[in-house]
């Protein structure tokens, strides 16, 4: 393979092939039918400031090797922090030992979908590795953002932060697949607070910038207009503090991609995880109403609803070249013409659904955790025929609300009844925005909500949102994931007044 010069030399200098050879040959000698080795190094940094002063800088590095085996149809797993061939062989023996110990109690035999052998390297789409930028320079940028906001009328406090991760993974298995990968992600952000001393309350407004599979260039203006947003926030916050409280009731909503991504995450992303749908994964965030007996039949939403899973979209947080099963990543349909047609799978779940290949959703967040099925980038597709804009959608509403930015959410354990708030809410009157509203939440069941979707924006209105740390499984694992969507128009969604609900 041609070595990719962007891959961190310090990772490449690890004895990757020697570790793999030692572990795989030992596993084979001991009777494993399948064995894979991951060598990982995950470097993270978080910086946070309050009112321009640094309140925290944390750096962490997680290094290790993991060996996973299948012996007589039973999984075994072991990991170690020491990266020597001797330790790799011992770890393989330990994994085989785990499988043999578990054999008498294992209720089912592992069957895995086939996958072609891959040898290659993959690096995510970024320009500047955040870990080559001095911490001082990052603090200066966040401090400068904070000062700009604090200098504006009506802003009393500012929190600013940036989280960054660089993830290196080496994977090798007995079938012959051997891959080296590097991906980078970043989440810069800020929140401005206005304190109302007379009334004893406060109001906040945060950036709408999503975390992204990008490098430091994102914080300095590639892919997001920080200058424009920093200049606009104080006035938007002041307007929000004086905005009237919403009147509850069924309301037409135009939902911006900056808000809709989270609704997609909770009501489609988690609901189409196959392990949840079959009740295999239930502990952390419940199961799913979208069970496999409904595949091809469940009306998830209106006929214009087209939702895909992918681990390939540029700058996507779940995007990678090969998953932790050694599967080359891809894109597929989850909901087509409003009907449930697919799930997120790994190599053990694909055969249960009668599929010959996995769609590449195996992921472990650490060399010391076993890979599980984790979320792909789950995205609502735009209208392929009309390049409808958000203004066009707002123009179709006589009286309604335009919802911008995510804030809080709740959803039940079957991913069915939910409630979402947002950063900003604009009254729509006769097809035009007519000032902000406060205290808005929208509430629905998953199928009613998506069933009420009348129109979606076109290709040029499509945006990626996402989260750095989606949680799943026990022991808990985190995963980064993006969700793309256009703005969309929903008719007659139940709107709550959060002040009235709270009192």
Site for Zn ion in 323-352 (CB under 5 A): none
Closest CA to 416 of 207, 208, 267: 267
The H-assigned helical ranges of 242-389 are 257-264, 274-277
Q: Which is nearer to Zn ion, 172 or 479 (CB)?
A: 479
- Minimum CB separation from Zn ion for residue 265, in Å? 6
**Is 204 in contact with 223 (CB distance < 8 Å)?**
no
Binding region for Zn ion (CB under 5 A) out of 109-117, 306-314, 412-420, 463-471: 463-471
- Judged by CB under 5 A, which stretch of 120-128, 197-205, 316-324, 468-476 contacts Zn ion? 468-476
- Confirm if 112 and 34 have CB atoms less than 8 A apart: yes
Least CB distance to Zn ion at residue 481 (A): 7
C-alpha closest to that of 366 among 98, 94, 65, 20: 65
| Spatial contact of 115 and 327, defined as CB atoms under 8 Å apart | yes
Count Cα neighbours of 67 within 13 Å in the Cβ-side half-sphere.
Answer: 35
**Cα distance between residue 184 and residue 215, in whole Å:** 6
Least Å from the CB of residue 304 to Zn ion: 25
254 or 290: whose CB is closer to Zn ion?
290
DSSP states along 358-386: --S-EE-SSTTS--EE---EEEEPPPSS-
How many amino acids of this chain bind Zn ion (CB under 5 A)? 1
Closer to Zn ion by CB, 313 or 470: give it.
470
Q: Helix count (H) and strand count (E) of the chain?
A: 10, 24
Residue 66 pairs in a beta bridge with 38, 79
CB of 270 to Zn ion, least distance (A): 6
CB of 472: closest distance to Zn ion in angstroms? 7
Q: Does 305 bind Zn ion (CB under 5 A)?
A: no
Contacts of 251 (CB under 8 A, 6+ apart): 399, 400, 401, 442, 492, 493, 494, 495
Nearest-Å Rg of the Cα atoms of the chain is 24
Q: Are 356 and 314 in contact (CB under 8 A)?
A: no
Contacts for 241 with CB less than 8 Å, ≥ 6 apart: 154, 194, 196, 203
* Residue among 468 and 470 whose Cβ is closer to Zn ion: 470
Q: 3-state class of 443 per DSSP? A: strand
C-alpha 152/C-alpha 150 separation (Å) is 5
Q: Which is nearer to Zn ion, 169 or 483 (CB)?
A: 483
From the list 378-386, 389-397, 419-427, 467-475, the region that binds Zn ion by CB under 5 A is 467-475
Q: Which is nearer to Zn ion, 248 or 478 (CB)?
A: 478
Is the CB of residue 178 less than 8 Å from the CB of residue 18? no
Question: Hey, what long-range contacts does 228-231 have (CB within 8 A, 24 or more apart)?
Answer: 230/145, 230/148, 230/149, 230/190, 231/148
- Least spacing, CB of residue 380 vs Zn ion, in Å: 16
**Which residue has the CB atom at the shortest distance from Zn ion?**
470
Q: Which one of 3-11, 64-72, 313-321, 464-472 is the stretch in contact with Zn ion (CB under 5 A)?
A: 464-472
Length of the chain: 503
- Find the binder of Zn ion among 22, 70, 83, 470 (CB under 5 A): 470
Q: Minimum CB separation from Zn ion for residue 479, in Å?
A: 8
CB of 285 to Zn ion, least distance (A): 7
Contact range with Zn ion by CB under 5 A, out of 12-20, 341-349, 361-369, 462-470: 462-470
Q: In the complex with Zn ion, which residue's Cβ is closer, 162 or 470? A: 470
Shortest CB 414 distance to Zn ion, Å: 15
Which CB sits closer to Zn ion, 316 or 382? 316
Stretch that binds Zn ion, among 80-88, 454-462, 469-477, 483-491 (CB under 5 A): 469-477
- Residue 236's φ and ψ, nearest 5 degrees, are -65, -40
Nearer to Zn ion, 441 or 470 (CB): 470
* Nearest CA-CA partner of 456 in 492, 491, 490, 482: 490
String marking each residue 416-455 x if it binds Zn ion according to CB under 5 A: ----------------------------------------
* CB-nearer residue toward Zn ion: 397 or 470: 470
Residue placing its CB nearer to Zn ion in the complex, 130 or 210: 210
Residues 157-216 interacting with Zn ion (rule: CB under 5 A) = none
| Minimum distance from residue 373 beta carbon to Zn ion (Å) | 13
Question: Distance (Å, rounded) from C-alpha 422 to C-alpha 496?
Answer: 12
Q: By CB under 5 A, which span of 3-11, 141-149, 189-197, 470-478 interacts with Zn ion?
A: 470-478
| Alpha-helix runs per DSSP H in 103-213 | 135-150
Which of 35, 320 has the CB closer to Zn ion?
320
Binding part of the chain for Zn ion, among 124-132, 215-223, 403-411, 465-473 by CB under 5 A, reads: 465-473
Q: Taking the complex as a whole, how short is the minimal distance between the CB of residue 272 and Zn ion, in angstroms?
A: 12
Q: Which residues bind Zn ion (CB under 5 A)?
A: 470
């Amino acid at each position: 393979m041609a070595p990719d010069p962007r891959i961190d030399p310090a990772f490449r200098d690890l004895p990757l092939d020697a570790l793999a050879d030692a572990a795989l040959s030992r596993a084979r000698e001991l009777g494993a039918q399948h064995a894979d080795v991951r060598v990982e190094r995950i470097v993270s940094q978080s910086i946070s400031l309050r009112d321009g002063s640094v309140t925290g800088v944390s750096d962490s590095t997680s290094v290790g090797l993991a060996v996973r085996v299948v012996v007589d149809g039973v999984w075994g797993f072991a990991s170690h922090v020491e990266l020597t061939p001797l330790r790799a062989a011992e770890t393989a023996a330990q994994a085989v030992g785990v499988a043999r110990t578990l054999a008498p109690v294992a209720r089912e035999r592992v069957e895995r979908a086939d996958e072609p052998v891959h040898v290659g390297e993959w690096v995510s789409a970024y320009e500047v590795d955040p870990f080559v930028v001095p911490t001082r320079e990052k603090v200066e940028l966040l401090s400068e953002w904070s000062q700009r906001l604090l200098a504006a009328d009506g802003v009393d406090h500012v929190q600013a932060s940036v989280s960054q991760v660089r993830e290196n993974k080496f994977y090798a298995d007995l079938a012959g697949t051997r891959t080296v990968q590097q991906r980078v992600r970043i989440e810069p952000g800020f929140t401005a607070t206005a304190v109302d001393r007379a009334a004893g309350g406060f109001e906040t407004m945060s950036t709408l910038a999503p975390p992204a599979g990008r490098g430091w260039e994102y914080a300095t203006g590639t892919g997001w207009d920080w200058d424009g947003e920093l200049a606009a926030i104080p006035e938007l916050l002041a307007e929000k503090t004086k905005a009237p409280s919403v009147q509850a009731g069924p309301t037409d909503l135009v939902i911006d991609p900056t808000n809709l991504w989270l609704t997609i995450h909770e009501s489609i992303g988690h609901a189409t995880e196959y392990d949840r749908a079959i009740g295999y994964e239930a502990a952390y965030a419940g199961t799913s109403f979208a069970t496999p007996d409904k595949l091809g039949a469940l009306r998830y939403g209106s006929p214009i609803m087209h939702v895909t899973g992918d681990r390939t979209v540029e700058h996507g947080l779940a995007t990678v070249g090969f998953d932790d099963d050694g599967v080359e990543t891809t894109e597929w349909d989850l909901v087509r013409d409003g009907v449930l047609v697919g799930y997120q799978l790994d190599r053990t779940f694909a055969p249960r659904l009668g599929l010959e290949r996995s769609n590449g959703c195996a992921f472990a967040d650490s060399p010391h955790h076993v890979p599980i099925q984790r979320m792909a980038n789950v995205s609502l597709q735009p209208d392929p025929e009309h390049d409808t804009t958000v203004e066009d959608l707002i123009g179709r509403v006589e009286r309604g609300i335009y919802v911008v930015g995510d804030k809080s959410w709740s959803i039940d354990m079957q991913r069915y009844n939910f409630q979402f708030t947002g950063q900003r809410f604009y009254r729509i009157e006769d097809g035009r925005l007519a000032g902000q509203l406060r205290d808005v939440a929208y509430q629905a069941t998953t199928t009613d909500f998506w069933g009420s979707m009348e129109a979606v924006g076109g290709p040029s209105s499509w945006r990626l949102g996402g989260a750095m740390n989606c949680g799943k499984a026990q022991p808990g694992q985190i995963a980064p994931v993006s969700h793309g969507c256009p703005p969309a128009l929903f008719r007659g969604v139940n709107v709550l007044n959060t002040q009235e609900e709270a009192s």
